[in-house]
Amino acid sequence: MNILKQNLYRTACLIMVNIGLYSYAHADLGTYNFTLKGNATNSTCGVEESQAHKIVDMGLNSTRQLKTPGDKGPRVAIPFNLVQCPAGAEVRFTFMGEQNPVNNQLLALSNPNATSTAQHVAIELTDSNRNRVPITKTNRFPNDASSKSRPFLVDANGNASVVFYANYIATDAPATPGFANAYAEFWIDYQ
Nearest alpha carbon to residue 158 among 77, 61, 99, 85: 85
Q: What is the pLDDT of residue 55?
A: 87
| pLDDT value of residue 76 | 94
List the one residue out of 191, 186, 180, 183 whose CA is nearest residue 93: 186
The DSSP 8-state label assigned to residue 86 in this structure reads P
Class of domain 47-190 (CATH, top level): mainly beta
Judging by DSSP bridges, how do beta strands 121-127 and 152-153 pair with one another?
A: unpaired
Domain positions in the chain are 47-190
Which pLDDT score is estimated for 82? 93
Task: Specify whether the backbone of 127 is left (phi greater than 0), alpha (psi in -120 to 50) or beta.
Answer: beta
pLDDT of residue 84: 93
- Coil vs helix vs strand at 36: coil
pLDDT in tens, the chain (191 residues): 445 445 445 554 545 545 444 444 444 455 455 545 555 555 588 888 777 788 899 999 999 999 999 999 999 999 999 999 999 999 999 999 999 999 999 999 999 999 999 999 999 999 999 999 999 887 666 666 677 889 999 999 999 999 999 999 999 999 999 999 999 988 888 88
Q: Please report the pLDDT score of residue 14 as a whole number.
A: 47
Cβ contacts of 170 within 8 Å, gap of 6 or more: 66, 67, 68, 69, 70, 71, 72, 120, 121
Distance, CA of 119 to CA of 125 (rounded, Å): 18
pLDDT score of 26: 47
